[in-house]
A = this chain, B = another copy of it.
Amino acid sequence: MSFRPQLHLAVDAMGGDYGPRSTVPASIQFLQQNPQAHITLYLHQSLTGDVDASHPSLTIKPCSSFVSMSDSPSRALRYLKDSTLAMALQSVSSGEAHACVSAGNTGAMVAIARHFWGTFTGLKRPAICKPIPTVEGGHSYMLDLGANVTATPDLLHAFALLGAAVSHCCDQVVSPRVALLNIGDEVIKGHEDVKAAAGLLESDGRLNYIGFVEGDAIYSGMADVIVCDGFAGNIALKVSEGVARMAVRQVNDTFRTSLYGQLLGQFARPVLKKWQRRFDPARYNGASFLGLNHVLVKSHGGADARGFGYALSYAQTMVQQELVPQLRQSMEGCFVS
């Protein structure tokens, strides 16, 4: 009888801007902190000699190809079945690993994961979702963050149900407040898809739909779930990172530009560091694909080893909380039209 670890993660080592330079050290550090875990790293065969990945709980699986950021989903699906991403995903559907983590090509992840794993019954496409910190110290769930460039009203409706189920399962919110992201809170605002989705959400008795919210409301905590298409959601997320980086840089600059500020900066540094840790976008790295039959965590493409480490921890939490089986159960019959 083979030993099965409490947590086995399949990591696509080739994804993201840094590839193995970020995924390998992050995996080793994760294993050092989690002795019960095992990681299988799916690495391109040309790199197996270059990577120093010696840890008793780490397995390297050389693969003959990898998905690049410019590969289309259809090409990835058709021609790259032996890629690091596809092999990592397949190891989850075969029962070998509990979850897959990748910082790679989002479109390819959706296509291959749907193909190997399938989505919840009746759900056409999964959504990328993550908890967004709010000003009061809580969080809202936002979806879709980039799995679907466009979304029909029906798909937005499905995402609203998924988001509400996540808020209920993870935070025990009894009647999660669900909002649609729009460019105004009046009913006449927005494009046809978002207006039609509003009608569907409004008339669905299972949802506590509170209406449209604008971009600045994402961080206000006025909704538990914020629904949008993946184009708007991805832009909202990336813009947030840009502003956060600018805020951190400007605070530091301001303390540097006067002698008084410099002097004060010496003393203020621990307080500012504390804020930066709290505000740091890397801390919130890791978004999950909701609606798939297994756990798939997408790391930010620009994540360094520390950031990728957060994505691994996020996958661990999702597996331990048994979110996918819980969600699938609560969504049973929801999407059958």
Contact = CB atoms under 8 A, between A and B. Distances in A.
A260 interface: yes
A336 interface: no
B70 A187 contact: yes
Interface residues of A, number: 64
Query: A-side binding surface: helix, strand, loop or mixed?
Result: helix
Nearest to A71: B188
10 contacts: A72-B188, A134-B246, A214-B235, A215-B240, A215-B242, A243-B243, A247-B279, A250-B278, A251-B251, A264-B271
Contact of A235 (B235, B243, B247): B235
A117 interface: no
B243 A240 contact: yes
Interface stretch (A30-38, A85-93, A226-234, A285-293): A226-234
B238 A235 contact: no
A8 B107 CA distance: 53
Interface of A: 69-72, 106-107, 133-135, 146, 149-150, 181, 183-184, 186-191, 214-220, 228, 230-232, 234-247, 249-251, 254-255, 258, 260-261, 264, 267-268, 270-272, 274-275, 278-279
A68 B216 CA distance: 21
B230 A183 contact: yes
The listed residue with most B CB atoms (<10 A of its CB), out of A107, A134, A231, is A231
Contacts of A250: 135, 275, 278-279
A220 B69 CA distance: 22
A303 to B, nearest CB: 13
Contact of A245 (B149, B216, B242, B249): B216
A271 B258 contact: yes
A122 to B, nearest CB: 25
A197 to B, nearest CB: 14
A78 to B, nearest CB: 15
